[in-house]
Amino acid sequence: MEITLSVNGVERTSDVEPRRLLVHHLRDDLGLTGTNVGCDTSSCGACTVLLDGESVKSCTILAVQADGHEVTTIEGLAGAAGNGETGALHPVQEAFHAQHGLQCGFCTPGMVMAAVSLLDENPHPTEEDVRLGLEGNLCRCTGYQNIVRAVLAAAGEVRA
Amino acid sequence: MSILGTRVVRVEDPRLLTGGGTYTADVRDPRLEGALHATFVRSAVAHGALRGVDVDEARRMPGVVDVVVGAEVDLPPVPGTVNRAMARPYLAVDRVRFVGEPVAVVLTERPEQGPDAAELVVVDVDPLPPVVGTDAALADETLLFPEVGTNLVAEAGAPDGATAPDGPAGCEVVVRQRMVNQRLAACPLEVRSSAAAWDGGRLVVWCSTQNAHGVHDALVRAYGLDPADVRVIAPDVGGGFGAKIGAHPEDLVLPWLARRVGRPVRWVETRTENMTAMVHGRAQVHEVTIGGRRDGTIEAYHLDIVQDAGAYPAMGAYLPRLTQAMAAGTYAVDRVTSRSRVVVTTTTPVASYRGAGRPEATAAIERAVDLFAAEVGLDPAEVRRRNLVPRFDEPHTTAAGATYDTGDYPAALERALAAAGYEELRAEQARRREAGDPIALGIGVSTYVEVTTGPYAGSEVGWVEVRPGGDAGVEVVVGTGASPHGQGLATALAMLVSHHTGLPHDAVRVVHGDTDLVAGGTGTFGSRSLQLGGSAVRGAAVEVVEQARRLAAEQLEAAADDVVLDPATGRFHVAGTPAVGRTWAEVLAAAGVPALRAEHTFTATQPTYPFGAHVAVVEVDTETGDVRLRRLVACDDAGRIVNPLLAEGQRHGGLAQGVAQALYEQVVFDDDGNPLTATFADYAVVSAAELPSFELVDMETPTFVNPLGAKGIGESGTIGSTPAVHNAVCDALAHLGVRHVDMPCTPERVWRAIRDATR
């Protein structure tokens, strides 16, 4: 089936199998490997992207369901995508850096996108709001403490 | 002021935060053009005779290039660890020994074609009785390796330690307890992944590993290649936690497949494969016997260990040696004995998982001390005070045979107790009990000491090269034989090099995990990377500075001994006359050399022994058995800290995994050997919602073992927190008559323990 997605602000038209998951479409068809696959039960959240601005696990929706919609991945979050310039970081990315909210980095793209969506819905969360809000995103390295700090810092709730 | 000891944010982050890193599955390389995708067909039966594998239908599926079965793979099986006769084939040949064992492999043009074809491979197995659990294995009624004649892989120690009259059995007070240190899954967020390509006569392998050099050596052995003809690259690695130290059979067979089809081959497993076929951790059954006097003095301790090594002895067969070495823990007990037996079972092989043998030792003795305290009617913190090894600055050899480097366990305990407000917590607990509050408060204390860099003196290699370029006029490239995958080692090494060269840390680039770029190397595990790898890089940096200093002296027409490097500015000058000097760039330019380079191997004289004390506070709903961790106070002493930000990150992650063992996580097999926790929907990976923010208490007791004064910090959190939380749960229920609940302390177990004690 032919589908057209706006991915990080760029129109992308592809012919995909109806069974193709959005995450595989992003990674294997469009070459956007920043979005990771961490499980096969929609449990880990490593594949979280924004669909029309709201976080979704891109392993739980089909590429064809995203037809006509806007997708934002980690590569498109910062002003200058993926060039490694610290100056171009989104405030949530900046907070993850300042608060040591990442270690191996594998959950990070999904975690950052989930955090962006969380703050969009609740700009002034409590620590408990953040912990419950990120329950669907697993991290094995950080013990979540600095991720939670980073989200609160991005919300201006704690000093960076 | 030195950069050392300051909270420098990570140099690794910007790339990971913007592009999402380059993990093995993301690697795009010309040598992998046209790569086929491997999909393993795995045994669905725990134990059985393999009668045949029918691949005809699978071969006819779209995109299938080849299907390979075990008998076709003409590589010698991998000898078992400790017991070489229990060897493992790359793909099962005549017998399957666990659910998830690879039986065949399908090679397809596109990744999604693999599972479709693999489903059509027919694996014909005559089931044999499963061997699940250590008791079944020890019974030796069904043998995994009939030719070996027993399921026992290895045995060591004192078999009669629990009953010997000069052991705990002869003491005034004797307490015994059987405890299960349950099997865990490491759960790195990145599953296993590898890619193999033959580049002329050379083999190039990308692998998600903690130890590129270890994979290199395994490939050299498996294929009989010249070491120079093998290159292993560990790109970004999405966590390992011990499970990715060694190469798995799936990793090692890819080059064989690539050679057979004449094309590169790559492999990315699913999470279900990861949960069933990547090595697990822990999986020990303990019987502790602790003896002492009514006044709270502990006089003797015996630890009996049965290690479930899974179907093929891997690193798991070795873990009890670490457990036994650390059996005495932090205590000044004269008589400590232990015994270990390692068995094979028809389950996933067991190897290292964060702590690897040491958390088991700590869990055993820390529960034993609490049981002893309950028996003599003393506060568990008080019993620890009376029995801890006093502060020592010279090596201390325990009754278990380990020689600890430096330590101050009483100070760590007091700091943790003070930070927790221990006395107030006990008062609060008494008030709740008095009031009959159904939400019981539990307070758990643990003290721990562990061994890092492995049981023997470790070694690591590093090099430093200073060359023209960059904003600073020179750039520094550092190579390390460690293989970091999230620890932030590049930042720590850059700080060390900055400290010694006076060059900014962000002018330092660190390369690792590529056997062509760093000759030799041992990888990242056992909390070894900073203390060994950092000491090696430090040594190389000192040598490079010395080279530059001598060149600067010639250029300044001064005696070499009179020239110094100002670490604040990175300029060389004659001592006392800083106005006339040479920058690194000027030294290099004037000398006409393209670069200055030094390589250094650091070998420690002995391992280091980090230690600490944790206090956990839990609330237990006595009506439902639900446990909530309310606080976790952790005093961890890993010697001198290079970067507190990184050290805290290591502690946080370790604490979370330790809490998870106490309360949530467990790999479960049913009686037939079927894995019941094969997905993240079934295995209770701890999430942000279950955890509080941890309260960290700092303490630094340097070691003399390396020039940094640093011990390892990677595993401490895991080791101390599990028994603190476990003790807290048992403590919460003590007034109800509950003596012990095995881990994980799930609501069902806690509820049953309360019911059994009170009805």
What pLDDT score does A85 carry?
Answer: 52
What pLDDT score does A81 carry?
Answer: 40
> Per the CB < 8 Å rule, is B238 touching A105?
yes
Inform me whether the pLDDT recorded for A80 exceeds 90.
no
Strands A48-51 and A70-72: antiparallel
> Per the CB < 8 Å rule, is A142 touching B653?
yes
Would B659 be classed as within a structural domain? Answer: yes
Would B220 be classed as within a structural domain? Answer: no
What pLDDT score does A71 carry?
Answer: 97
Say if residue B589 is in the same domain as residue B650: no
Say if residue B439 is in the same domain as residue B503: no
Q: Which of A 40-79 lie inside 8 A of B, CB atoms?
A: 40-41, 43-44, 46, 73-75, 77-78
Say if residue B363 is in the same domain as residue B476: no
Say if residue B591 is in the same domain as residue B737: no
Would B564 be classed as within a structural domain? Answer: yes
What pLDDT score does A158 carry?
Answer: 56
The full DSSP string for B216-273 is HHHHHHHHT--GGGEEEE--B----TTTTSSPPHHHHHHHHHHHHHTS-EEEE--HHH
pLDDT band with cut points at 50, 70 and 90 for residue A160: very low
What pLDDT score does B758 carry?
Answer: 84
Q: How many separate domains does chain B show?
A: 2
- Find out whether B657 and B282 touch, Cβ atoms under 8 Å: no
User: Which segments of B86-210 does DSSP mark as H helices, in order?
Assistant: 113-118, 134-139
B697-745 tens-digit pLDDT: 999 999 999 999 999 999 999 999 999 999 999 999 999 999 999 999 9
- The CATH number of whichever domain residue B569 belongs to comes to 3.30.365.10
Q: Is residue A143 less than 8 Å (CB to CB) from chain B?
A: yes
Domain that holds residue B463: 459-603
Backbone φ and ψ of B484, nearest 5°: -65, 150
Other Cβ atoms less than 10 A from the Cβ of B494: the count is 27
Would B427 be classed as within a structural domain? Answer: yes
What pLDDT score does A157 carry?
Answer: 63
| Angle ∠(A54,A59,A63) on CA atoms, nearest 5 | 80
Other Cβ atoms less than 10 A from the Cβ of B170: the count is 14
Inform me whether the pLDDT recorded for B226 exceeds 90.
yes
> Per the CB < 8 Å rule, is A135 touching B688?
yes
In angstroms, rounded to a whole number, what is the distance separating the alpha carbons of residues B324 and B332? 16
B583-596 tens-digit pLDDT: 999 999 999 999 99
Would B185 be classed as within a structural domain? Answer: no
Inform me whether the pLDDT recorded for A34 exceeds 60.
yes
Say if residue B493 is in the same domain as residue B582: yes
Q: Is residue A15 less than 8 Å (CB to CB) from chain B?
A: no
Chain A residue closest in CA terms to B693: A145
Would B110 be classed as within a structural domain? Answer: no
Strands B627-637 and B611-621: antiparallel
> Per the CB < 8 Å rule, is A93 touching B18?
yes
pLDDT band with cut points at 50, 70 and 90 for residue B624: very high
**Which of B7, B13, B680 should one mutate to test binding to chain A, selecting the residue with the greatest count of A CBs within 10 A?**
B13
pLDDT band with cut points at 50, 70 and 90 for residue A131: very high
Regarding the domain delimited by A2-77, which CATH topology (the fold level of the hierarchy) does it fall under? Ubiquitin-like (UB roll) (3.10.20)
Higher pLDDT, A159 or B717: B717
> Per the CB < 8 Å rule, is B687 touching A84?
no
- Per-residue burial over B203-224, b if 16 or more Cβ lie within 10 Å, else e, is bbbbbbbbbbbbbbbbbbebbe
> Shortest Cα distance from B26 to chain A (angstroms)?
6
User: Boundaries of CATH 1.10.150.120 in chain A?
Assistant: 86-154
| Cβ-Cβ contacts under 8 Å, A134 against chain B | 687-689
Last residue of a domain, one of B569, B603, B637: B603
| Cβ-Cβ contacts under 8 Å, A135 against chain B | 687-689
What pLDDT score does B141 carry?
Answer: 98
Would B218 be classed as within a structural domain? Answer: no
> Per the CB < 8 Å rule, is B10 touching A130?
no
Number of cross-chain residue pairs from A and B with Cβ atoms under 8 Å apart: 198
Sheet holding B627-637, edge to edge: B439-449, B611-621, B627-637, B695-698
pLDDT band with cut points at 50, 70 and 90 for residue A82: very low
Inform me whether the pLDDT recorded for B644 exceeds 90.
yes
> Per the CB < 8 Å rule, is B485 touching A104?
yes
Say if residue B448 is in the same domain as residue B507: no
Last residue of a domain, one of B551, B576, B603: B603
Say if residue B583 is in the same domain as residue B470: yes
Does ipTM surpass 0.95 in this model?
A: yes
Kindly list the distances between the CA atom of residue B400 and the CA atoms of B323, B328, B341, B527, B759, in Å, as whole numbers in the listed order: 10, 6, 17, 22, 41
Arithmetic mean of pLDDT, A121-144: 97
**Class of A86-154 per CATH?**
mainly alpha
Say if residue B625 is in the same domain as residue B575: no
What pLDDT score does A154 carry?
Answer: 96
What pLDDT score does B645 carry?
Answer: 98
Arithmetic mean of pLDDT, B347-354: 98
- The helix/strand/coil state of B723 is helix
> Per the CB < 8 Å rule, is A40 touching B271?
yes
What pLDDT score does A77 carry?
Answer: 94
Backbone φ and ψ of B417, nearest 5°: -65, -45
pLDDT band with cut points at 50, 70 and 90 for residue A88: confident
Say if residue B447 is in the same domain as residue B470: no
Inform me whether the pLDDT recorded for B1 exceeds 90.
no
Last residue of a domain, one of B603, B618, B650: B603
B487-513 tens-digit pLDDT: 999 999 999 999 999 999 999 999 999
| Cβ-Cβ contacts under 8 Å, B236 against chain A | 104-106
Inform me whether the pLDDT recorded for B118 exceeds 70.
yes
| Cβ-Cβ contacts under 8 Å, B270 against chain A | 40
Radius of gyration of chain A (CA): 15
A66-78 tens-digit pLDDT: 999 999 999 999 8
- Find out whether B308 and B302 touch, Cβ atoms under 8 Å: no
What pLDDT score does B246 carry?
Answer: 87
Other Cβ atoms less than 10 A from the Cβ of B137: the count is 27
| Cβ-Cβ contacts under 8 Å, A108 against chain B | 16-17, 20-21
pLDDT band with cut points at 50, 70 and 90 for residue B19: confident
User: Boundaries of CATH 3.10.20.30 in chain A?
Assistant: 2-77
Arithmetic mean of pLDDT, B611-615: 98
Say if residue B575 is in the same domain as residue B467: yes
Inform me whether the pLDDT recorded for A87 exceeds 80.
no
Which of B19, B646, B691 faces A144 most closely, judged by CB atoms?
B691
Backbone φ and ψ of B13, nearest 5°: -65, -50
Other Cβ atoms less than 10 A from the Cβ of B485: the count is 32
B314-332 tens-digit pLDDT: 999 999 999 999 999 999 9
Say if residue B525 is in the same domain as residue B658: no
> Per the CB < 8 Å rule, is B486 touching A105?
yes
Say if residue B612 is in the same domain as residue B752: yes
Which stretch of DSSP H or E encloses residue B654? Answer: helix B644-663
**Which of A127, A140, A149, A158 should one mutate to test binding to chain B, selecting the residue with the greatest count of B CBs within 10 A?**
A140
The percent of residues above 70 in pLDDT, for chain B, comes to 100
> Per the CB < 8 Å rule, is A40 touching B272?
yes
Choice among B423-432, B440-449, B521-530 with the minimum mean pLDDT: B521-530
> Per the CB < 8 Å rule, is A35 touching B12?
no
> Per the CB < 8 Å rule, is A41 touching B187?
no
Backbone φ and ψ of B229, nearest 5°: -95, 10
What pLDDT score does A5 carry?
Answer: 97
Inform me whether the pLDDT recorded for B686 exceeds 50.
yes
